[in-house]
Structure 1
C-alpha cells in the first residue's frame, strides 16, 4: 500500500497539484458506494411496498381506470428500479485502484449516471406517477362535480410536481457538494 500511495503522489505531482490524501479519497469513494447501495435497498423496499399497498387498496379488477393507474405506476417503479440498479460501484480495497484507468473510468461513468439519473429519470418517474394517480382519482372521485374533480386533479398534480422539483433540486445540490469534487479528482487522476 505504501508503494501505491507513493505512486499516487508522484502521479499527482506530475499533474501540477499537491498530493491528495489517498486514504481520504478512498474513504469518500467507499462512502459513496455504501450510500448508493443503501439508497438502492431503500428504494426497492419502499417502491415495492407502495405497489403492494396500492394493489391492496385499489379495486384494480373493478375499474379500467384503476388498472391503467397501476400500469402507469408500475412502469414508473420498474423504470426507477432498472435505472438505479444499472449503477454499480465496485469496492475499493487500496490505492492501487486509483492508478487503474479502467477502474477510474468505471467509477466516473457510474457517478455521471447517478447525476443523470436524478436529473432526467426522476422527472419521467414523477410524470408517470402523476398520470397514474390522476387515473386512479378519476374513478375514486367520480361522484364529485366536474369543477371539483378538475381542482382536485390540478391540485394533486401541482403538489406532486412541485414536491418532486424540490426533492430533485435538493438531491442535485447534495451531489454538487459530494459527487462533483470526487468527479473532478477522478478526472484529474484519469487524465494523468
Structure 2
C-alpha cells in the first residue's frame, strides 16, 4: 500500500475532537470555524498546538489579536457543527447566530456557553507553511460545564462531556460502553 496516497485520500485515520475556534473581528462580531488539528506540547508549562489551513476569517483574527477560544463540540451540537463546517460568507453569520456565545474570561474572544470544554489560548509562535500554519499557544484559561467534572471536582469526564469526534469521513462519539478501564 502507498502510505502517501492513503494519507491524502483518507485524510487522518484516527479520531479527533472537533472544536469551534472563536475570535472577534475588528468590528467585534464573533467568528467561528471548525478545527480538529489540536494537540498539546510542553514548554515551561502545558500548551496547545493548533494547525489551520487556508484563508479563514478566524485565522486572520487570531493572527491579528493573538487570542482565541477553542470550544469543544458535543454530540448535542452536531447539527450546528455540521452547518458551521459547510457554511461560508453571509450564511456562516446565520449559523454562528445559532450558538449561544459569551465573552471568555481570560482572553478577548467568544466562547460557546454550552461547550463541554473551552481552552482560552494566546499565540506564542506562528510557523507558516505553504497553505497552512502551525501555532504554538499558551493556555490562559480552561473551563467546563458542570456535567463534565467528576465527583472529585478536578477530573474531566470525557464520557459525560460527550465530545463530537471526526475520523476520516465520519462523525463519532465516546459512550460509556466504550470505556475499557482506567489509564495508567
Given the two structures, how large is their TM-score scaled by the length of structure 1? 0.20
Higher RCO structure, 1 or 2 (CA under 8 Å, sep 6+): 1
Mark the structure with the bigger radius of gyration: 1
**Larger strand proportion, structure 1 or 2?**
2
